[in-house]
Amino acid sequence: MTQGDRSSARPGSGAAGAPGTPPAEAGDDILIGRPSDGALSEQLLSTTWRPFTGGWKLAFAISGALTLLLFCLITLTVLRGIGVWGNNIPVAWGFGIINFVWWIGIGHAGTFISAILLLLEQHWRTSINRFTEGMTLFAVVQAGLFPLLHLGRPWFAYWLFPYPSAMGVWPQVRSALPWDAAAVTTYFSVSVMFWYLGLIPDLAALRDRGPTRARRIVYGIFALGFCGSVQQWRHYKVAYLLLAGLATPLVLSVHSVVSLDFATTGVSGWHSTIFPPFFVAGAILSGFAMVLVLIIPARRVFQLHNVITPWHFDAMAKMVLITSWIVTYSYIAEIFIAWYSGERYEMYQHLVNRPFGWYGWAFWLMVFCNCVVTQLFWSRRMRRNLTVLFVAALLINLGMWLERFEIIVVSLSRDFLPSAWHLFVPTWVDLGILAGTLGFFGLLFLLFLRLVPFVPVAEMKQMRAELVAGAHQEARP
């Protein structure tokens, strides 16, 4: 590989080439080795037909068992009512809403990578965008379960949508809850459409290259007859860009709307104008952490070291560091504003109850996970150390879960009226449902890894062609 090859691979250096770019190390590239179109297709499509490994089967068995647990506990919750959860008055939101906010936040990094980084022409997103879009879809599935169950009577969920009912009643659209229903269902639908549109060329490739006739027929049906003609690409390209353009404000709106469920109420610790940006930054932080948790093992199992390179980990760790600082700033701003307001309940909530109250340990653990651990990523060596990244990512996921615990449980348990104060303790059903959604998420993800090529093949080939063309241009005087 020539020097020109490597430096052209760095996003930002582009065809013009940055004179004086420092010599890049091996692995400092978004696609190692420039494999041919055929070789890339073979490598990336074959993830769907390679033999199952023992590790995959074990993971599948564990996820399957947890999924079973989830559905048993959902049945229990629906039969007995949400009294089997630890929710009480005043802590009426409990684990259900913590898990909802946590899961939907995790989804955000997927859309961030696939849409926002596409518009910003960050080429490194190509190899991980489908992977993270899959993560988004499955995280939103988990998130969607919770508000549904938390209704207590999930069979009436359709009351949230406007339909001409015989009762003559309409939803109250000035409340944040119907906004939430609209935002989450839109987010899921648009994510599915964006994901499917991106998949079509690769489904067509699987139709043409699949090892068995049955596979070719099934993939052929989903490929819809796509054959890569000029007309098809012409409209496809514009549709893909438009979907990215639409998904960009959408992803920012979803967690903003979720945060409005809190911010529009009067509870101290919730009633804050910083919530929308604070929630979005936290969502992207937890999402990038989840991407790292999933992609480090997947890359190893499927031997994708040439397409998911240290460069990608470096870039993702930088995103973790940036969003972690936005979150840290928000924590500080919340505490400062509470003090500056001079309001008794606000000051008590932020200066006494959160750090030193009954749940003080959760606050300090959250600060450790979300603000302290991430500081490791100032170091380039740490950004590229997969063990450090993996452990840090797990801790950040824990930290972001605790942040929602902090916002929901800790705020509600110390309401305005001291006589109403009540602590919250989760029941085994709460913990089982949380574990169950982790398993269900894992199950869907493991199936996704086997059913479709999780690195976008056509986009990778196109990126490779552009990298090669860029290198030629650079080599010219």
Partner 1 sequence: MTERARTPPDDQPVVMAEFASGPALLDGIRALRGCGVSRFDAFTPYEVEGLEDLLGVRRSRLSWIVLVVGLIAGGGAYLLQWWINVIDYPLNIGGRPYHSAPAFIPIAFEMTVLFASAAALFSALVLGGLPRLWHPVFEVEGFERATIDRFWLAVGAGDAALDRTRDTAVLEAAGAMRVVWLADPPARPAMPPGGAW
Pairwise CA distance, residues 67 & 383, whole Å: 33
Question: Residue 39 or residue 352: which is nearer to partner 1 going by CB?
Answer: 39
Closer to partner 1 by Cβ: residue 385 or 462: 462
CA distance 339 to 348: 9
CB of 386 to partner 1, least distance (A): 30
In angstroms, what is the minimal distance from the CB of 179 to partner 1? 4
Minimum Å distance from CB 263 to partner 1?
13
Residue 196 or residue 325: which is nearer to partner 1 going by CB?
196
167 burial via Cβ count (<10 Å: 0-12, 13-18, 19+)? exposed
Q: Minimum Å distance from CB 268 to partner 1?
A: 20
What the block records as the tokens of 440 is 């269900």
Identity of the residue, 167 or 417, whose beta carbon is nearer to partner 1 in the bound complex: 167
φ, ψ of residue 278 to 5 degrees: the values are -60, -45
What gap in Å lies between CA 232 and CA 69, rounded to an integer?
45
> How far is CA 154 from its chain centroid?
25
Query: Which residues bind to partner 1, rule: CB under 8 A?
Result: 36-38, 41, 162, 168-174, 178-179, 182-183, 185-186, 189-190, 193-194, 196-197, 201, 204-205, 207-209, 224-240, 242-243, 246-247, 249-250, 253, 257, 260, 458-459, 461-462, 465-466, 469
Nearer to partner 1, 105 or 210 (CB): 210
148: nearest Cα among 162, 161, 166, 165: 161
328 CB-contact burial (10 Å; exposed 0-12 / middle 13-18 / buried 19+) = middle
Of 172 and 273, nearer to partner 1 (C-beta) is 172
Inter-residue contact 226 to 232 (CB < 8 Å): yes
Cβ-contact 17, 7 below 8 angstroms: yes
Burial, 361: exposed, middle or buried (Cβ in 10 Å; 0-12, 13-18, 19+)?
exposed
Least distance between partner 1 and beta carbon 45 (Å): 8
Whichever of 5 and 28 has its CB closer to partner 1, that residue is 5
Instruction: Between 124 and 188, name the residue whose CB sits nearer to partner 1.
Output: 188
Closest distance to partner 1 from the beta carbon of 390 (Å)? 33
**What is the smallest separation between the CB atom of 136 and partner 1, expressed in angstroms?**
14
Q: Could you give the CA distance from residue 461 to residue 23 in angstroms, rounded to a whole number?
A: 25
Shortest reach from residue 36's CB to partner 1, in Å: 7
Judged by CB, which is closer to partner 1: 182, or 338? Answer: 182
Q: Within 10 Å of residue 130's Cβ, how many Cβ atoms?
A: 24
Q: Which amino acid is at 394?
A: L
Minimal distance, residue 249 CB to partner 1, in Å: 7
Q: Which residues contact 86 (CB under 8 A, 6 or more apart)?
A: 94, 95, 424, 425, 426, 427, 430
| Cβ neighbours for 368, distance < 8 A, ≥ 6 positions apart | 395, 399
Using CB atoms within 10 Å of the CB of residue 222, give its burial: 0 to 12 exposed, 13 to 18 middle, 19+ buried: middle
